[in-house]
Amino acid sequence: MNAEKSRTGQCLCGKVKIRLVGEVHDAGVCHCSMCQRWCGGPAFGLGGDYDVEIDGEDAIVYYRSSEWAERGFCGTCGTNLFYRLVESGKLMAHTGTLDDQSGLTFKSQIFIDEKPDWYAFANETENMTGAEVFAMYAPKEGDQG
């Protein structure tokens, strides 16, 4: 058996523990107004091809933020854990939940057109506007997740 790649993480209080199994190497930022409100700033998500194992599912509260997505957070400490597409179950965990964030590549920024004007990341990234994101993943025009 090959040594499987994985990264572990948890919420602030520790009731929810996650294990990401597979390729977790990219970090991406979403500047959309919904993520801003939910995270208290831009959302930092983990890209790659990985499965998520959750320990402490009972502690997670889900907020259905759109027709196609929901956002999971710890009901005790409020840590914003992940964004999940309802239909596919595809889940995007947040970088900040990881125990060790070393070795990640800051790859992309989405909803760049909704980024507030008071900050800008110096990293060279692939940037997409909200319209470009919807054109690529296309649930519905003019709606956010």
The residues binding Zn ion (CB under 5 A) are: 11, 13, 15, 30, 32, 35, 74, 76-77
CA distance 70 to 133: 18
Between 74 and 93, whose beta carbon lies closer to Zn ion? 74
Nearest to 52, CA basis, from 79, 85, 76, 18:
18
Q: How far apart are CA 109 and CA 125, in angstroms?
A: 7
CB of 77 to Zn ion, least distance (A): 3
Q: How far is the CB of 49 from Zn ion (least distance, A)?
A: 21
- What is the closest distance, in whole angstroms, from the C-beta atom of residue 117 to Zn ion in the complex? 17
By C-beta, is 21 or 77 nearer to Zn ion?
A: 77
Q: Which is nearer to Zn ion, 64 or 103 (CB)?
A: 64
**In the sheet that 69-74 helps form, which strands lie side by side, from edge to edge?**
60-64, 69-74, 80-85, 91-93
